[in-house]
């Protein structure tokens, strides 16, 4: 049994689903944010797998790889800003539990 595209898509799908349910179910903001990163990297894996299996002899450049490079750069920005927001939340409320941060609700 050789390793085909569907194997990589399976891994990507599992990673994305675990990240998704982590975002939905966890209460700690930091863990939620980590699960968000998991979803992003699952998308990167799908990009790279598709571009590798899609490469033909005429166009050996894998454009999905370049896209993945940009995704990684933007993810770095996103982590920096998100963690800054978490630090500010902690400074205001002394907590990072999502069910205790409900000022906008009331």
Partner 1 sequence: MKEILFHFFAALTIVPAFFLATSRKPVNAAMNMMASFVGLSALFVMLETYFLAILQLLVYAGAIVVLFLFIIMLIDAGKSPQPRLMRFLASLAAFALLTVVSFGLVFGGGSGPFAEISVEAPASLSRTFGVELFTRYLLPFQVTGFMLLIAMVGVIAITKKHESEGGAE
CA distances, 103 to each of 31, 60, 100, 106 (Å): 21, 53, 9, 6
- For position 98 contacting partner 1 by CB under 8 A, the verdict is no
Can you tell me the distance from the alpha carbon of 69 to that of 55, in angstroms, rounded to the nearest whole number? Answer: 17
Kind and range of the H or E run holding 62: none
Environment class of 12 (CB within 10 Å of its CB; exposed 0-12, middle 13-18, buried 19+): buried
Is residue 92 near partner 1 by the rule CB under 8 A? Answer: no
Kindly write out the interface string for residues 24-53 of this chain, putting x where it contacts partner 1 by CB under 8 A and - elsewhere: -xxxx-xx-xxx-xx--x--xx--xxx-xx
93 binds partner 1 (CB under 8 A): no
Positions that interact with partner 1 (CB under 8 A): 1-11, 13-15, 17-19, 21-22, 25-28, 30-31, 33-35, 37-38, 41, 44-45, 48-50, 52-57, 60-62, 65-66, 68-70, 72-81, 83-88, 90, 96
């Amino acid at each position: 049994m050789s390793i085909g595209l569907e194997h990589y898509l399976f891994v990507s799908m599992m990673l994305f689903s675990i990240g998704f349910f982590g975002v939905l179910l966890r209460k700690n903001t930091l863990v939620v944010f980590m699960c968000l990163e998991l979803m992003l990297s699952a998308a990167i894996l799908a990009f790279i797998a598709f571009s590798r299996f899609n490469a033909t002899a005429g166009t050996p450049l894998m454009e999905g790889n370049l896209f993945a490079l940009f995704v990684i750069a933007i993810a770095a920005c996103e982590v920096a800003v998100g963690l800054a927001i978490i630090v500010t939340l902690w400074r205001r409320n002394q907590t990072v539990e999502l069910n205790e941060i409900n000022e906008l609700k009331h």
